[in-house]
Copies of this chain bind each other. A is one copy, B any other.
């Protein structure tokens, strides 16, 4: 009843596993079968769980899955959501069941994890370099003819490494690669069209490799100047299309279609519009968006970006924050200070500190909104410092044992702190657990 759609993934084993006392968020003193969590009748607002606890709001997840499915359909794009955000097989399954074309991943290890749970189409948004990484992926391709795998390349030497590995480990099908176009001063990727063309030609010329498409990541263009960003993204998308045209003109592409991929979580609407209907190419072009953070959004970085995106899209009901971390007041040592049982091990701190949203005295009723001046000002490994404004009634009564619900900024760096998260309904009743594999 309370589960996510599986999208063809093999997830039953996760609910069969016995969870041991000590798993963050669980109040158990004896081992518990994960699948039995939904019938424990735990409510976070009654402090039935342990704290801190990471929560996924089911209604927001459902809304975001459907929103993104509709968005992609509207623009004729497909979605390979970046799985590194959550590394959660149950969420991968829900994304695939909601129409995702495949999963994007960041490392060969992540690919191995996703494949183990049944993901059968992966775009690795990096160049494979280490011998162990190349061998690992080639072993999956060799053992599983249905495994549809794509990776990036950004240098002739990288292509040579892959060509040499494939020659030593022959496959029944070529290894499909996308040339990564980068940005001056930014991360990986060719810096000029000339460099990118050299890589494309090297791929097309190498036995065992195939030029499958072109990739870029406009998310690195995010600055504090939104207007400048939009111009820079448009220019970059133009370069990606130009690269597609040039490779097509030189007949370098080897697949039945051309894959054209960009789109992080801030500007994927610009990508969807900018890459829509690329015409005049000798084979169909599939535009692949890769947002990972759309699924949970947040109460910080992505909330700000999504608000802008909603304005650009004239979307009244955009993506909703789905991820919260709840903790308990452990100490009230000073009138304007509460110490919470939540630290750097529990919530993101790389972009912003968590946002204090609600307080609640364990028991019936709804959580109270915390006032704007009430904020997390510091975190240690296992503690957060909640500064309370003077004179606010809610803050004045906040006591040891009360609950504080926080939103986070940047889902990727919160998911990776939680091997297990609990899905809750809008009344914070626990429905089921999901697992992450940041191993």
Contacts and interface: CB of A to CB of B under 8 A. Distances in A.
Contact of A27 (B29, B110, B136): B136
Copies of this chain present: 2
A201 interface: no
B187 A339 contact: yes
The A contact surface, by secondary structure, is loop
Interface stretch (A60-68, A274-282, A327-335): A327-335
Nearest to A132: B27
A135 B400 contact: no
A115 to B, nearest CB: 9
B130 A331 contact: no
Nearest to A142: B29
A344 B350 contact: yes
Contacts of A416: 345, 417
Contacts of A20: 112-113, 116, 439
Contact of A345 (B349, B381, B399, B438): B438
B22 A341 contact: no
Given A155-B331, A383-B188, A439 B23 contact: yes
Contacts of A328: 129-130
Contacts of A437: 22
A239 interface: no
A113 B23 CA distance: 9
A224 to B, nearest CB: 16
B51 A413 contact: no
Contacts of A126: 330, 341, 382
Contacts of A400: 127, 129, 155, 157-158, 161
Interface in A388-439: 399-401, 412-413, 416-417, 419-420, 437-439
Interface string A181-201: 010110111110000000000
Contacts of A59: none
A171 interface: no
A133 interface: yes
A110 to B, nearest CB: 7
A131 interface: yes
A148 B149 CA distance: 53
Interface of A: 20-24, 26-27, 29, 47-51, 84, 106-113, 116, 126-127, 129-133, 135-136, 139, 154-155, 157-158, 161, 182, 184-185, 187-191, 328-334, 337, 339, 341, 344-345, 349-350, 362, 380-383, 385, 399-401, 412-413, 416-417, 419-420, 437-439
Given A47-B132, A50-B109, A344-B350, 16 more contacts: A20-B112, A21-B116, A22-B111, A29-B139, A47-B130, A50-B133, A129-B329, A129-B330, A129-B341, A129-B400, A129-B401, A157-B400, A161-B401, A185-B337, A187-B339, A188-B330
18 contacts: A20-B112, A20-B116, A21-B109, A21-B136, A22-B109, A22-B439, A47-B131, A107-B341, A126-B341, A129-B329, A129-B330, A129-B341, A131-B362, A157-B400, A187-B331, A187-B385, A344-B350, A381-B413
For the complex of A and B, the 4 pairs showing the least CB-CB separation, nearest first, are A27-B132, A22-B112, A188-B331, A22-B113
